[in-house]
Each structure stands twice: as C-alpha cells, then as structure tokens.
Amino acid sequence: MITFEGIGASSGVAAGPLCFYRREVIEIPRGGAADVEMEWRRFKTAQAEAIRQLGELVERARAEAGEEGALLFRTHCLMAEDLDCEEAVSQAIREDAKSAEEAVADVGARFTALFAAMDDVYMRARAADVKDVSNRILAILTGAARGGVESGIPVILAADDLSPSETVQLDKGRVLAFLTEGGSAASHTAILARMMGIPAVVGVGGRLRAEYAGRETIVDGGTGRAVIEPDAVTRTRLLGKRADRRTACGKD
C-alpha cells in the first residue's frame, strides 16, 4: 500500500484505477524573428482565437459549475487581452526581435512568477491562471493538441497539476477524482472540482510515478489522503465512508 498525504481540495471518496493526464509538450522555437511585424500579427491572431475559445469555455463552465465557474473564464478572457501583458509581448517582438512563441512564453513566465511570489495566498494561486492563458495562446501558435484522458472507463485522474481549462473540459463521466502533485485549496482548479462535485486531493508532492498507472487507488478529498493498492482494512474503511456519504446524500 502506498499512501499520499496532501490537501483535501474537494470532499468525497472515490475509488478506481489510476490514469495519468495526457498532455502534449509545447516546444518553443528559439532563434528570433526575421519579420517582427509578421510575428506581431501571428500573436494577435492567436490572441483573438484564445479569446474566442475562452468564450466557449465560459458557457461550458456555466453548464458544469454554475455562474461562479463561468466568472472564472470571463476573468481568463480579460487576462488574454490584458494591456500590460500585450505591451510586454509587443516589446519582446518588436524591440527584442523574438518570435511570437518566444515572446508569449517569456512574458507568460515572467507574469506567472510575479503572481507566484506574492504574499497573499489567493494572489499566488492566480499564477496558475496566468500560466493557463499563456499556454492556450502558445498551443494555438504551435498547433499543439489539447490534452485529455486515454481511458474507456472512469478513473482516478493523476497529474503534476491541472489547469482550470483542462479541468472544466474533462468528461465528468470518466473522472472519479483528481490526484495532483501541485496545487492548493485556493486554486481555481480546486474551486472547479468542488463546483463539479469531484473529490480532489492536491499538493501530494513529486511522488506520483508512471508505474502506478492502472493500479487501484482510493482518494479521500475530505482528509487529503490517497492510497494506491490499499490493504483490506483500509479499503473496507474508505469504501464504507464512501457508502455512508452516498446514503447521507440520498444517492443510494
């Protein structure tokens, strides 16, 4: 039995096979820009497409998580067209002769670090939102495919972390719970998990291993604990807790 101690971000108990989130690595071409105005136009086109996609996510979030979830992605829309970020990208392209990809990656990393260094817990959690928006624009620029879950059955979804947009675009019918190495209870991903009614344990540290894929896992979002291949006593206790919760909620 392998036990993980993290942060209970969304209450509930779920059991199933562990499956890792599949995400394409975005490769950033380096080497500068031969035509800075063309790179600026590429950025503006990608920015407009990101705003369009985020508009669709507003409606998806409203359906999955209500008005509060929709508000999250309206905030992402504002981030995508933030004038300070846009000016920084313009400078990186026009003055530093960087490609659109380089400019977005570098500016996104800088603004993400600024938020991550803030004293306020809520503001630190917004670093993930800035990174999410930046990665969306980068994916459009590079043609990277959207990530997902490669499983035909419901699973406990494991990841280094999940962005808000990755979370809301998941098929709820295939995700029993979230288990992530990073994240916090104040992150928008954790907030979305609570709105969507999906148990979640975050912040377990860098202990998830690829060889754990497919193994039986139980997540307890109330205590912030998860176990892989639980012993009989632990399995009985946690599944009993799940049954009690379902009875209390009128699900069984």
Q: Which residues of the chain have pLDDT under 50?
A: none
Q: Tell me what pLDDT residue 149 has.
A: 85
Give me the pLDDT at residue 80, please.
95
Q: Does residue 243 lie in a domain region? A: yes
Q: Which residues pair with 148 in a beta bridge?
A: 22
C-alpha dist (Å) from residue 58 to 6, 103, 106, 206: 30, 27, 27, 32
pTM of the complete model: 0.81
Q: Are residues 187 and 130 in the same domain?
A: no
Domain with residue 54: its CATH number is 1.10.274.10
Residue 189: inside a domain, yes or no?
A: yes
pLDDT of residue 249: 67
Domain termination residue (choose one: 142, 157, 178) = 142
Q: What is the pLDDT of residue 229?
A: 96
Do 86 and 167 sit in the same domain of this protein?
no
pLDDT of residue 219: 97
Does 241 share its domain with 159?
yes
Spatial contact of 130 and 112, defined as CB atoms under 8 Å apart = yes
Q: Which domain holds residue 198?
A: 2-23+148-248
Sequence-distant (6+) residues with CB within 8 A of 41 are none
pLDDT given for residue 123 in this prediction: 86
**pLDDT confidence of residue 122:** 83
Domain presence at residue 16? yes
Q: What is the pLDDT of residues 56-105, one digit of tens each?
A: 999 999 988 889 889 989 999 999 999 999 999 999 999 999 999 999 99
- In this prediction, residue 40 carries a pLDDT of 97
For residues 108 and 195, state if they share a domain: no
Residue 52 placed within a domain? yes
